[in-house]
Amino acid sequence: MSYEKVLQAKEVIIGTRQTVKALQTGTTKEIIIAKDADAKVIANVASKASEVNVPVHYVDSMKKLGKACGIDVGAAAVAIIN
């Protein structure tokens, strides 16, 4: 389900650092996090999303999430922008 959201989104931010920055600017509609990503890597994203009340959805695979974003490597976190 969330892979389709990423595919249909007009604008996405890929990567944990960029996702946190997007959360700080207040332009983020929702966050997609890969369950197989390192917990240390995604902890900051999940925490920040909770602080600013942005919904977080989880998917199974970093590789599939990266592919949905159109990149050849895995993605731990993706922000869907307003």
| Fold adopted by 2-81 | 60s Ribosomal Protein L30; Chain: A; (3.30.1330)
Instruction: Report domain extents, the chain.
Output: 2-81
- Tens-digit pLDDT string for the chain (82 aa): 578 888 888 899 999 999 999 999 999 999 999 999 999 989 999 999 999 999 999 999 999 999 999 999 999 999 999 7
DSSP string over the chain: -HHHHHHH-S-EEESHHHHHHHHHHT-EEEEEEETTS-HHHHHHHHHHHHHTT--EEEES-HHHHHHHHT-SS--SEEEEE-
- The pLDDT value recorded for residue 1 is 57
- What is the pTM (predicted TM-score) of this model? 0.90
